[in-house]
Amino acid sequence: MRISVIGCGYLGAVHAACMAKLGHQVIGIDVDEAKIAALSNSKAPFYEPGLDELLEEVQASGRLSFTTDMAEAAASSVHFICVGTPQKKGENGADMTFVDAAASDLLEHLGPGDLVVGKSTVPVGTASRLSDVIRAQEPDAHLVWNPEFLREGHAVADTLSPDRFVYGVSDGSEDHPAVSVLDEVYSAPLAGGTPRLVTDHPTAELVKTAANSFLATKISFINAMAELCEAAGADVTQLADAIGMDDRIGRKFLNAGIGFGGGCLPKDIRAFMARAGELGADQALTFLREVDSINMRRRTRVVELTRELCGGTLLGKRITVLGAAFKPESDDVRDSPALSIAAQLQLQGAVVTVTDPKALANAAKRFPELHYEPETHVSVEKADALLLLTEWQEYQNLDPYELGRRVESPRILDGRNVLDSEKWRAAGWTYRGLGRP
């Protein structure tokens, strides 16, 4: 099939490469010339494991190319909208500028029978609105909302074999013409057993925001338990293991720590609350405000714990932050709790060095005032305290004995509860976890 993918960021670049991998003829379109130049050279403009190799493979096959020219979409009959919906400046709602621009730029290139597939995370009601715009231009074209559930760091595998497909079509019916077209696009994963659900437009849009809200709630739930564990002298990691053994609860996404960040969960729960307000259903989501504030409280808590760890003051203390990305296997620093904590510590008088295997360039753009050091062993030299804030495997593998010889004082705050506390204590370190005695 001939497919266009509009928007080549974290979502679109991966989607374009994966659609070509599935055997389709794909054109990736973006307004950013630098991004298109990099992608055309098989270089993703961000770090995602396996993506550069996949880009190279599918570009060599001739099935994938990139352009800034929307007119090239005219050769395709299926058009994926993969642009971002960031949080509006100074407001909770989602900024729809990019989605609206992508849809309107695409309009004049649509032909009869074309399918427009929305993948971006949008406020409920967007699909029906865009569907009307599309049908006004090309009465024989259809819009389907097909939310994306990929995780950064696992994006290629999540796209090639997702947990499920959700197709939101105007009448919510299996017989809608868009269903068979998308079935053909996804024939390989469908044949591999990925289930698919056909819904109406608003349900498909809500599935995405509901899923992210549930994940955010799960993380804030365990972080609230961490606060309680700290007050009661209990251990939240054991608590999570024990409640997670109940199938109905499950252990995944119950890792207490510095909280969630990234380009999705924080802005999605806020946009969801804003949209619920517009629909007159704000009461239904007031709990998400609490989810958000529990999450933000983690960052303040880590700053306070670091002060305690440093003997009551941060002034002039040399602090090394291990990890800047919002999660491991990513260079994404959007709303990264690690970086936000690093910046807070610096504002409160600490001398902060940040290290990360992949995210330092992005971090330096966001917080140029922090000091960055790519080599872990150099970054910890003479430190008064280490903070492990992004659980990269290489930080989990650090040898406390070897590290102990480099730092000024062997003190570590494990912001992700991933280190073996007994091992670090045995090596002479003062170890602090979050929600652990």
Residue 335 half-sphere exposure toward CB, CA atoms < 13 A: 15
| Distance in angstroms (rounded) separating the CA atoms of residues 24 and 188 | 11
Q: Per rule CB under 6 A, is residue 340 in the interface with ligand UGA?
A: no
Q: Which is nearer to ligand UGA, 154 or 289 (CB)?
A: 154
Q: Per rule CB under 6 A, is residue 327 in the interface with ligand UGA?
A: yes
| Distance in angstroms (rounded) separating the CA atoms of residues 32 and 419 | 41
Q: Per rule CB under 6 A, is residue 264 in the interface with ligand UGA?
A: yes
Annotated catalytic residue within 8, 229, 264, 310: 264
**Does the annotation mark 264 as catalytic?**
yes
Which one among 167, 186, 260, 429 touches ligand UGA, defined by CB under 6 A?
260
- Cβ of residue 410: shortest distance to ligand UGA, in angstroms? 26
Q: Which stretch binds ligand UGA (CB under 6 A): 46-54, 212-220, 365-373, 397-405?
A: 212-220
Q: Which is nearer to ligand UGA, 246 or 375 (CB)?
A: 246
Which one among 261, 323, 410, 415 touches ligand UGA, defined by CB under 6 A?
261
Report whether 321 contacts 354 (CB < 8 A). Answer: yes
Residue 378 bridge partners (DSSP): none
Q: Which is nearer to ligand UGA, 264 or 322 (CB)?
A: 264
Which one among 253, 287, 406, 418 touches ligand UGA, defined by CB under 6 A?
253
Residues 102-121 that bind ligand UGA (CB under 6 A): 121
How far is Cα of residue 420 from the mean position of the Cα atoms in its chain?
27
Which one among 87, 212, 320, 340 touches ligand UGA, defined by CB under 6 A?
212
Q: Which is nearer to ligand UGA, 15 or 35 (CB)?
A: 15
Closest to 266 measured CA to CA, from 411, 137, 92: 92
Q: Per rule CB under 6 A, is residue 85 in the interface with ligand UGA?
A: no
Which one among 84, 118, 259, 433 touches ligand UGA, defined by CB under 6 A?
259
Which one among 43, 109, 129, 151 touches ligand UGA, defined by CB under 6 A?
151
Q: Per rule CB under 6 A, is residue 87 in the interface with ligand UGA?
A: no
- Cβ of residue 313: shortest distance to ligand UGA, in angstroms? 28
Q: Per rule CB under 6 A, is residue 326 in the interface with ligand UGA?
A: yes
Q: Per rule CB under 6 A, is residue 149 in the interface with ligand UGA?
A: yes
How far is Cα of residue 233 from the mean position of the Cα atoms in its chain?
33
Q: Which stretch binds ligand UGA (CB under 6 A): 65-73, 75-83, 142-150, 224-232?
A: 142-150
Q: Per rule CB under 6 A, is residue 152 in the interface with ligand UGA?
A: yes
- Cβ of residue 258: shortest distance to ligand UGA, in angstroms? 7
Largest CA distance in the chain: 72
The residues assigned a catalytic role are 264
Q: Using CB under 6 A as the criterion, which residues of the chain lie in contact with ligand UGA when the complex forms?
A: 121, 148-152, 212, 215, 219, 253-255, 257, 259-262, 264-265, 326-327
